[in-house]
Chain A
Amino acid sequence: MVLDLVPLWTILLGLAVFYYVVFDGFDLGVGMLYGLVRGDAARATVMNSIAPVWDGNETWLIFGGLGLLTAFPLAFAIIIPAVYFPILMMLLALVFRGVAFEFRFKHPALRRLWDCAFCGGSLVATFAQGVVLGTFIQGFKVDGRQFAGTSFDWLAPFPLVIGLALIFGYALLGACWLILKTEGQLQDWARRAAGISLIAVLAAIAGVSIWTPLVHPDIAQRWFRWPNIAFLSPVPIVTALIALAEWEALRRRHELTPFLGAIALFLMSFVGIAISLWPMIVPYRYTLWQAASSASTQAFLLIGTLFLLPVILMYTAWSYWVFRGKARGIAGYH
């Protein structure tokens, strides 16, 4: 008998995606907020708060993409063509953002331009990721093993709203990161930004929680049918409690708790989506098991992943430890 590796790969991929969303989420959020911060010294501090870690965070996108390709190739082959333009926007935005990080120091004359590239790149990449998520929840038109819709199916109200929602979501993560990494006026500013983002995020979570079951009867069934409603009711209740705690933490000027609270809100949204869609990987058409690659393929990659992943995680933890504490602008460094 061959061991069924699908559950393990589901967990690994789920963790990778969640890790990416939280970690690149906060630095994309910081990138967007960067455009709203005034003053060179404050901007330098904002930039330095993510400079040591952003590229490491972004590489998880490759891990997520390749993991999906290897473990669930059918999902990759259907989903990615369906979001052809959002993926294009995201990739090019990430390219601009990445090079802007380095080049803005090189060309003082063009600094404003690279600043725009950095901020705009973060914004577009975030929006595009939200659109991808929205299209995923919306579902795909499939014929056999191929995507059968058009390259513009994502251009619908639901994906676009999720795109906007994610902008506030990442902004919340980014603002909470800045609360953690900065002091004084900048920190106060970040607190206000976090408050505004939190309100928008909660509105989005509530809106999506009502919208999705209305559009998809299966999802409504799953949540509201007895006895599921008894098991699942803690999910919205816990989410609401976290939201309250987050608001309190911001009001009481905590430094670390808001960031943890924002992660917890993302986690609850993630769990909510997983419950709604389980066990689909190509929503409403193919399950995880139907889309899985051969057992031999999954086993072959698993060996290396189980060996390399802990090392990568340990190193990542160490690098965050090295760069712990408050970020500073280091004015007049040159």
Chain B
Amino acid sequence: MTLDPVLLSRLQWAWVIAWHILLPAFTVGLASYIAVLEGLYFLTGRESWFRISGFWTRIFAVSFGMGVVSGIIMPFQFGTNWSRFTDAAADVISPLLSYEGLMAFFLEASFLGVLLFGRRLVPTWAHFFAAVMVAFGTLLSSFWILATNSWMQTPQGYKIVDGRFEPVDWTAIIFNPSFPYRLLHNVTAFYITTAFVVMGVGAWLLRRERAADDARTMMRMALDLLILLVPLQMFLGDQHGLNTLEYQPAKLAAIEGRYETAQPAPLTLFGIPDDAGGTMRAAIEIPRLGSLVLTHSWDGAIKGLKEWPADQRPPVGPPFFAFRVMVGIACIMLLIVVAGQVLRLRGRLWGSVWFLRLCQLAAPLGFIAVIAGWITTEVGRQPWTVYGVLRTADSVSPSLTGANVAWSLAFYVVVYLIMFPTGIAFMAGLVRRGPQQPELESPVDQIESGRPHEPFETAARATLQV
């Protein structure tokens, strides 16, 4: 068997970015949550906000650190494995990537330090301001990286000179057709992911009667946010889908599992895609629903994949199944959130052990949905890196052999399988300690020369000292 450098490079990219994306999926939402908590503490002076903020800041510091470490790897992937893509598209996408780096860098250098170490050094309002700036920085970071990704999905504002993309109109490049939808859909997904983690952790603390008041506050805040965001996300997802129908119809056909054009089109709930045979086996379909959902009319036409030459079709399996996982999780989330609000209205939320346990189980759902959504959109973009213009097969570094990439992929797999579980266990340990009373903390050494042991830990403790 020969090893294909293109396939292995894709697997390597998928591996390093799938782990990396979990961290922003969490930290973007968490940074905003901490900013809200700091704001509430600044306005009310209530100790509870302060404890909860300190608790989550500790966890934020660890996940942010892991995000930086796994993020350093990403820009180099463009060079090591995708040098032809880099040569062709760098004039357009590299400033967007650089702005992402600069902004993340900028926020880390300037405000994260204040957030982590500045509790005793700066007044409350300045600490609140630092928290807002960190949150703003994570959102700016999302802005630029999703602008880059969206341009690869729906490129515009460029001209091709000697086989390379040259920028013509930066506004058109950044605000390309899929960008507003992707940005809103992603950031909302990140907020939902974080809120489910906060709710799950709150439920865990509550079941052990640890810091019960704080845990109830966490759950209340999460439920209030989620009852707004989960339905909003379903609407945004629908809008994003319509945008895909307009600009990337082949991707949409793959998501729908539609090989043959149909008018009116049914909605395929489930089936086993057969790309070679060009047919969906064992399909379970609901007549006309596909037209209704996608064209918002009773007998709209949906193009099937056979409208495109075979070498311009994405594989159906990954987008088809991943999309169903994502939508399924959205439905489960909605049920949980509605159930939670109903229990709360009836005053039975805190006593319903089954619901608290359900919240714990649901804590990682957001992460799974984010990965599923990402598989849907990225595999659905195939066989292109820049949609409709540059092929994935023509993007890979020409000097790489299959064996080269197999080795590097193996190294990344081993290192990530050590690093991420350790980091997650570390964060779980912080959760177990729970929010703590400021007076229970041991005094922190003066931060003069040399940060003391356990920089992140001490930082978090320092935030608990007034």
A residues bordering B, Cβ < 8 Å?
A: 44-45, 48-49, 51-52, 55-56, 58-59, 61-63, 65-67, 69-70, 73-74, 76-82, 84-85, 87-88, 91-92, 94-96, 98-99, 101-103, 105-106, 145-151, 181, 293-294, 296-297, 300-301, 304-305, 308, 311-312, 315-316, 319, 322-328, 330, 333-334
Contacts and interface: CB of A to CB of B under 8 A. Distances in A.
Interface stretch (B67-75, B250-258, B331-339): B67-75
B415 interface: yes
B399 A149 contact: yes
A158 B162 CA distance: 36
Interface in B358-382: none
A311 B75 CA distance: 23
A151 B399 contact: yes
Contacts of A315: 109-110, 113
B398 A147 contact: yes
A62 B91 contact: no
20 contacts: A51-B450, A62-B105, A66-B75, A66-B102, A77-B83, A77-B90, A79-B79, A95-B69, A98-B65, A98-B69, A105-B453, A146-B83, A146-B87, A146-B397, A151-B399, A297-B167, A311-B110, A312-B109, A323-B449, A330-B452
B261 interface: no
B109 A45 contact: no
A86 to B, nearest CB: 10
Interface string B443-466: 001011111111111000000000
Given A106-B429, A150-B399, A81 B80 contact: yes
Contacts of B71: 62
A147 B397 CA distance: 8
A95 B73 contact: yes
B91 A77 contact: no
A233 to B, nearest CB: 37
Nearest to B401: A151
B399 A300 contact: no
Given A94-B69, A105-B454, A63 B404 contact: no
B231 interface: no
B83 to A, nearest CB: 4
A151 B65 CA distance: 31
In the A-B complex, the 7 residue pairs with the smallest Cβ-Cβ separation, listed nearest first, are: A80-B79, A73-B90, A48-B450, A327-B450, A325-B449, A77-B87, A81-B397
Interface string B101-115: 111011011100100
Contacts of B76: 65, 80, 87, 91
Nearest to A327: B450
A180 to B, nearest CB: 11
B91 A78 contact: no
Interface in B52-70: 62, 65-66, 68-70
A69 B426 contact: no
A101 B62 CA distance: 12
Q: How many interface residues does chain B have, given as a range?
A: 35 or more
Contacts of A73: 86-87, 90-91, 94
Contacts of B454: 102, 105
A64 to B, nearest CB: 10
Given A81-B79, A312-B105, 7 more contacts: A52-B450, A73-B87, A84-B399, A149-B399, A150-B399, A293-B90, A334-B453
A330 B397 CA distance: 50
A260 B78 CA distance: 36
Contacts of A301: 94-95, 98-99
A59 B108 contact: yes
B453 A294 contact: no
Nearest to B89: A73
B445 A333 contact: yes
B310 interface: no
Nearest to A294: B91
B160 interface: no
Contacts of B308: none
Given A70-B94, A73-B94, A146-B398, A59 B109 contact: yes
Nearest to A97: B69
Nearest to A322: B447
B206 interface: no
A94 B429 CA distance: 24
A51 B101 contact: no
Nearest to B73: A91
The interface centre, meaning the residue of B62, B397, B401 with most chain A CB atoms within 10 A of its CB, is B397
Nearest to A60: B105
A147 B87 CA distance: 11
Nearest to B425: A106
B232 interface: no
B119 interface: no
Contacts of A147: 83, 397-399
A74 B184 CA distance: 34
B73 A323 contact: no
B451 A48 contact: yes
Interface string B407-426: 11001100100010011001
B80 A330 contact: no
Contacts of B83: 76-78, 80-81, 146-147
A51 B451 contact: yes
The interface centre, meaning the residue of A151, A304, A305, A323 with most chain B CB atoms within 10 A of its CB, is A151
Contacts of A44: 453
B185 interface: no
Contacts of B66: 99
A204 B95 CA distance: 38
The interface centre, meaning the residue of B62, B69, B407, B450 with most chain A CB atoms within 10 A of its CB, is B450
A328 B450 contact: yes
Given A59-B109, A315-B109, A328-B450, A305 B398 contact: no
Contact of A151 (B73, B79, B404, B426): B404
Contacts of A326: 449
A66 B97 contact: yes
A323 B451 contact: yes
Contacts of A81: 79-81, 83, 397-400
B346 to A, nearest CB: 43
A181 B98 CA distance: 34
A283 B92 CA distance: 25
B453 A102 contact: no
Nearest to A99: B419
B275 interface: no
B453 A333 contact: yes
Contacts of B68: 55, 59, 98
Nearest to B456: A102
A319 B108 CA distance: 12
B87 A80 contact: no
A95 B109 contact: no
B101 A62 contact: yes
